Structure 1
Amino acid sequence: MRPNVSPAAVERDGKEHSVKDSSTPPKMLSRLKETSLNSRLHDAVGYRSILGNTNTQASFLKASSSHHYSRDHSDEAAAHGHQHLSVAPPPDMGSITRVISAVCMEFGVTLHSVFVGLTVGLTTDSELKPLIVALVFHQLFEGMAMGSRLADAKFRTILDIVLALVFATSAPAGMAAAAIAVSVSPAAMSGSGFVTLVAVLDTLCGGILLYLAFTLLLGDFVADVRHYCADGQRYRIAKKITLFVALWVGMGLMALVGNWL
Structure 2
Amino acid sequence: MRQKISVLIFEAGVAVHSIIIGIELGVSSGDEFTTILIAICFHQFFEGVAVGSSAVSAFSEMKTLALSALAYSLTTPIGVVIGILISSTYSDTSTTALWVKGTFDAIAGGILVYTGLVELVTYHYTTNSEFHKKTFTGRGLNYMCLYLGSAAMAIVGKWA
Shorter-normalised TM-score: what interval? Answer: 0.7 to 0.9
Aligned-pair CA distance for 1:246: 1.3
Distance 2:113 2:57 in 1: 20
**Counterpart among 12, 19, 29 of residue 114 in structure 1:** 19
**Counterpart among 173, 179, 198 of residue 101 in structure 2:** 198
Q: Which has the higher contact order (CA 8 A, sep 6+)?
A: 2
Matched, 1:157 2:62: yes
Q: How many residues align?
A: 157
Structure 1 pair 191–155 and aligned structure 2 pair: CA distance change class (3 A)? farther
* Equivalent position of 1:257 in the other structure: 156
Matches within 5 A, 1:68-147: 95=1, 97-147=2-52
* Equivalent position of 1:244 in the other structure: 143
Distance 2:7 2:145 in 1: 22
Aligned-pair CA distance for 1:136: 1.3
Give the letter for the 1:127 counterpart.
E
* Equivalent position of 2:111 in the other structure: 208
Conservation of the 8 A alpha-carbon contact between 1:121 and 1:178 = yes
Give the letter for the 1:216 counterpart.
E
Distance 1:127 1:244 in 2: 35
RMSD: 2.0
TM-score (norm 1): 0.55
Aligned-pair CA distance for 1:225: 4.0
Distance 1:240 1:100 in 2: 25
**Counterpart among 216, 220, 226 of residue 132 in structure 2:** 226
Distance 1:158 1:242 in 2: 33
Aligned-pair CA distance for 1:109: 0.2
Report percent identity of matched pairs: 25
Radius of gyration: which is bigger?
1
In the TM superposition, what whole-angstrom CA distance separates every residue of 1:173-219 from its partner, at most 9, and x where no partner exists?
11111111113x244x6532232122212111111111111122222
In the TM superposition, what whole-angstrom CA distance separates every residue of 1:118-142 from its partner, at most 9, and x where no partner exists?
1112222112233222111211121
* Equivalent position of 1:170 in the other structure: 75
Distance 2:80 2:70 in 1: 16
TM-score (norm 2): 0.86
Matches within 5 A, 1:174-189: 174-183=79-88, 185-187=89-91
Which sections of structure 2, spanning at least 5 residues, go unmatched?
none
Conservation of the 8 A alpha-carbon contact between 1:110 and 1:170 = yes
Give the letter for the 1:244 counterpart.
Y
Aligned-pair CA distance for 1:152: 2.8
